[in-house]
Amino acid sequence: EFQQTYKLGVVPIPTNKPMIRKDMPDLIYKTEEAKFEAVADDIAERHAKGQPVLVGTTSVERSEYLSKLLLKRGIPHEVLNAKHHEREALIVAKAGKKGAVTVATNMAGRGTDIVLGGNPEILADQALRERGLDPVETPEEYEAAYPAEHEKAIAESKREAEEVIKAGGLYVLGTERHESRRIDNQLRGRSGRQGDPGESRFYLSLQDELMRRFNASMVERVMTTMRLPDDQPIEAKMVTRAIKSAQAQVEQMNMEIRKNVLKYDEVMNQQRKVVYAERRRVLEGEDLREQCLHMIHDVITDYVEEVAAEGYAEDWDHEKLWTNLRTLYPVSVTWDEIESSHPDLTKEQLRDALVEDARKAYERREAEIDSKRGEGAMRELERHVVLMVLDRKWREHLYEMDYLKEGISLRAYAQKDPVIEYQREGYDMFQAMLDSLKEEVVGILFNAQVEPVEPEAPAEAATEVPAAARGNGRAERPARRQGGGGGRHAKPVPPQPVIEGQAVPAALRRPPAGAAGLTYSGPAEGGGVARSGGNSQPNRAAQQGASRRERRAAARAQAKKAKKARR
């Protein structure tokens, strides 16, 4: 499957030592109750001769049911079913000791190493903790006592390991076959590790999930015809082969499901490559000016195609076109000007004229932002906006693709291939997402609120110096450092554009004397540039010379007034 489906080579790794584990044939019972009674009898027999037993169950309920049966028979055991998190390591460490019985779910499969005789490291740690020594509470006493206790645990584990090997090694008992043979083999693989002896056997019943799905009725008829009692098992290689065949069918179904999922994921993978490549360009700081100009060209082209797809210029809905353009950027050219300069106006000429107008508006916008925030601020704004919009649009697109995948299988009723339909509609949705991304990026770049750079407050006004500290000047030094008084080692902070809706640093909220208020550059109804916003005069006066708390209070009051006005 790895080679055919995923084009990945597989290299089998041989075992370190020859495996000598005995895998015995399955035992099949008529009812589940009879099966668990037989399991309890087998566990009692193995426990009596000192052989450790690992019992694998398919669910927490089954493990607890078997635990109750063992308690009734007085068999000491441990239950490993993810309910005893603190004791899991200790339970596994003791699972290989003489006469130990461990009832576990599938969590005791792959990755669990059961050492015959017990794990000396964990057993030594447990012995020290029982004596009141803890590596956290009493680290020195713990470190001093650990070597001797560890040597003692190693000697005890070796002695018990010899007794366990004489008893037959670890006995793995499975109470039900899993749909996948790999999970059954993982459970069996806990025994016979590193050349140790061991045994394994599976107990089944006709009421098990796998037996009910495949050929259970045939076996039940055989047992009824032979008049076998419920506690009399069937042990035959034919039945074992039938079970393996059933597991192979389930694995084949699961493989087809994985192949089908891979076909759908390949569609998303192609889109993912495009989005992540674009995102990588932004994160690496690539200049996005030309890309943003291409976005402007594409958006205006779509607007023109929407109203001028066919017919003559007189038939085009130019009012709708100009309405859309005004929400995008401050249009400085009118329909009459374009029509008068081109007697036989075509949509290509209209598009070129509008694109040229938008380019000039973008250059004015760039000069405006650079004058407020410093040279290079427009490039930083472009990267910030593209990354923000791209991430949000991609998240929304992923949700839409998941929604499409949920119902795409119904296309098979219309004699259509669901995978091909998913590819086609997924491509259309991806293109629509890219078009929406371009439009939103262009709109934000033209209409985002950008605040001007404010100089830091003078050192003397940064912190009020107490009268008692003015004599020696000790209180003035931190004030100058906080005020950024322009020392020799002071490094200038690069200008960062501030997008509307983001938190603005407190230092930028206080305009200097004579500075213009914050402006919002956006489109006006008449097609020009509308400048709105800015701090009102009372608030500006309140901010000058006021403390930070007073400025914040004034800002909150202004926000409340604006909110009431909107209502």
Q: Which two tokens stand for residue 334?
A: 């009118």
> What average pLDDT does the structure give for the chain?
78
- The answer, yes or no, to whether residue 559 has pLDDT greater than 60, is yes
pLDDT at position 550 is 62
The residue-averaged pLDDT of 195-209 equals 87
Dihedral class, residue 215 (left if φ above 0, else alpha if ψ from -120 to 50, else beta) = left
53 by DSSP, 3-state: which?
strand
> Which pTM value belongs to this model?
0.56
At 511, which helix (H) or strand (E)? none
pLDDT at position 435 is 93
Q: pLDDT class for 81, splitting at 50, 70, 90?
A: confident
| Alpha-carbon dihedral sign for residues 279, 280, 284, 285 | negative
Q: Which two tokens stand for residue 320?
A: 């709708």
- The answer, yes or no, to whether residue 210 has pLDDT greater than 70, is yes
pLDDT at position 137 is 87
Please state, in angstroms and rounded to a whole number, the distance separating the CA atoms of residues 338 and 349. 9
pLDDT at position 417 is 87
pLDDT at position 110 is 64
Kindly report, residue by residue over 313-356, the tens digit of the pLDDT: 777 888 888 998 998 889 988 888 888 888 788 888 888 999 99
Please state, in angstroms and rounded to a whole number, the distance separating the CA atoms of residues 78 and 76. 7
pLDDT at position 155 is 92
Domains of the chain: 14-235 (3.40.50.300), 273-447 (1.10.3060.10), 454-494 (no CATH)
- The answer, yes or no, to whether residue 9 has pLDDT greater than 60, is yes
Of 210-224, 319-333, 350-364, the poorest mean pLDDT is in 210-224
Q: pLDDT class for 485, splitting at 50, 70, 90?
A: very low
pLDDT at position 396 is 94
> How many C-beta neighbours within 10 Å does residue 355 have?
18
- The answer, yes or no, to whether residue 3 has pLDDT greater than 90, is no
Q: pLDDT class for 484, splitting at 50, 70, 90?
A: very low
- The answer, yes or no, to whether residue 514 has pLDDT greater than 70, is no
Dihedral class, residue 238 (left if φ above 0, else alpha if ψ from -120 to 50, else beta) = alpha
Beta-carbon contacts of residue 46 (< 8 Å; ≥ 6 apart): 53, 171
Q: How many residues make up the chain in this entry? A: 567
Q: In percent, how much of the chain has pLDDT > 90?
A: 27
The whole-angstrom distance between residue 17's C-alpha and the CA centroid of its chain comes to 40
Residues linked to residue 394 through DSSP beta bridges, in sequence order: none
Q: 75 and 44 in contact (C-beta within 8 Å)?
A: yes
Kindly report, residue by residue over 84-111, the tens digit of the pLDDT: 666 788 888 888 899 999 998 876 666 6
Q: pLDDT class for 520, splitting at 50, 70, 90?
A: very low
302 by DSSP, 3-state: which?
helix
- The answer, yes or no, to whether residue 507 has pLDDT greater than 70, is no
Kindly report, residue by residue over 399-445, the tens digit of the pLDDT: 999 999 888 888 888 888 888 999 999 999 999 999 999 999 999 99
Q: 169 and 191 in contact (C-beta within 8 Å)?
A: yes
Kindly report, residue by residue over 439-473, the tens digit of the pLDDT: 999 999 998 887 776 655 554 444 443 443 344 44
3-state SS of 126-181 is HHHHHCCCCCCCCHHHHHHHHHHHHHHHHHHHHHHHHHHHHHCCEEEEECCCCCCH
Please state, in angstroms and rounded to a whole number, the distance separating the CA atoms of residues 179 and 449. 60
Q: pLDDT class for 220, splitting at 50, 70, 90?
A: low
* Residue 385: exposure state from Cβ atoms within 10 A (0-12, 13-18, ≥19): buried
Q: Which residue from 338, 451, 448 is spatially nearest to 384, judged by alpha carbons?
A: 448
- The answer, yes or no, to whether residue 162 has pLDDT greater than 70, is yes
Kindly report, residue by residue over 272-304, the tens digit of the pLDDT: 999 999 999 999 888 889 999 999 999 999 998
Beta-carbon contacts of residue 250 (< 8 Å; ≥ 6 apart): 179, 180, 210, 213
Beta-carbon contacts of residue 422 (< 8 Å; ≥ 6 apart): 264, 267, 404, 405, 408
The residue-averaged pLDDT of 198-222 equals 77
Q: Which two tokens stand for residue 441?
A: 């990026």
Q: pLDDT class for 248, splitting at 50, 70, 90?
A: confident
The residue-averaged pLDDT of 366-374 equals 88
The residue-averaged pLDDT of 464-493 equals 40
Q: pLDDT class for 512, splitting at 50, 70, 90?
A: very low
- Long-range contacts: 222-230, Cβ < 8 Å, 24+? 223/30, 228/30, 230/29, 230/30, 230/31, 230/33, 230/34
Q: Which residue from 376, 400, 307, 380 is spatially nearest to 347, judged by alpha carbons?
A: 307
pLDDT at position 563 is 61
Number of H helices, E strands in the chain: 20, 9
